[in-house]
A and B are shown apart, each in its own frame.
Chain A
Amino acid sequence: EPEVTQTPSHQVTQMGQEVILRCVPISNHLYFYWYRQILGQKVEFLVSFYNNEISEKSEIFDDQFSVERPDGSNFTLKIRSTKLEDSAMYFCASLNEGAENEQFFGPGTRLTVL
């Protein structure tokens, strides 16, 4: 069964450093998403991406965040200057056209900012 993959599984960084979280969505999916989950809290929407542009973003997704689909397979989330409060699990998800909200989630990247 096809699945969404994410790398790395765990990233440790120093405050102020840039990080790039990588995702490989399911190959024929057209919609891509990033979410985050702070430890013990609910999953929060960050951004959705379709047709090579952001289609929606939340208030969390400020100027320090950016997304990119550099080639036909990868979908990345960049955090420009990490803060302590960026420590969380980051989940990538993808969706096929016509599947409404049946998003397929990756296993997540745990980001720890020291």
Chain B
Amino acid sequence: LAKTTQPISMDSYEGQEVNITCSHNNIATNDYITWYQQFPSQGPRFIIQGYKTKVTNEVASLFIPADRKSSTLSLPRVSLSDTAVYYCFVDMRFGAGTRLTVKP
């Protein structure tokens, strides 16, 4: 089973770029890396997914180095509404989550 490690919490200010890194040292060859966002009292919501290199969509970018042992979720120009818990998800397992707090 792939075990993931990510920071417990991060603080940022509106308009800044936020990067959250997850390590997954024993990721399997066929595992994708997925990130979810969760607001209080809601189910997780898909943000982005990748296998290698860089993936970008309308809300985030995901950077995955060649060895795939880590991944970095990048949120450009965060707003107050981005305050949430962000989970790295590998091999059907969620990480412990990173609580992002965006301040005005």
Contacts and interface: CB of A to CB of B under 8 A. Distances in A.
Task: Judge: A and B partners, yes or no.
Answer: yes
Interface of A: 4, 35, 42-45, 48, 56, 58, 91, 93, 100-108
Contacts of B93: 45
B94 A44 contact: yes
A51 to B, nearest CB: 17
Interface residues of B, number: 18
B94 A45 contact: yes
Contacts of A103: 44, 46
Interface in B42-72: 42-46, 49
B42 A101 contact: no
A42 B38 CA distance: 10
14 contacts: A42-B94, A42-B96, A43-B44, A43-B97, A58-B92, A91-B43, A100-B32, A100-B34, A100-B49, A101-B49, A101-B89, A103-B46, A108-B41, A108-B42
Nearest to A48: B92
Contact of A42 (B43, B49, B87, B92): B87
Contacts, number: 45
A91 B44 contact: yes
Contacts of B38: 43
Contacts of A42: 87, 94-97
Contacts of A48: 92
A103 B89 CA distance: 11
A23 B41 CA distance: 17
Nearest to B95: A42
Pick from B44, B89, B93, B96 the residue with the most CB of A within 10 Å. B44
Contact of B43 (A44, A58, A101, A107): A107
A102 B49 contact: yes
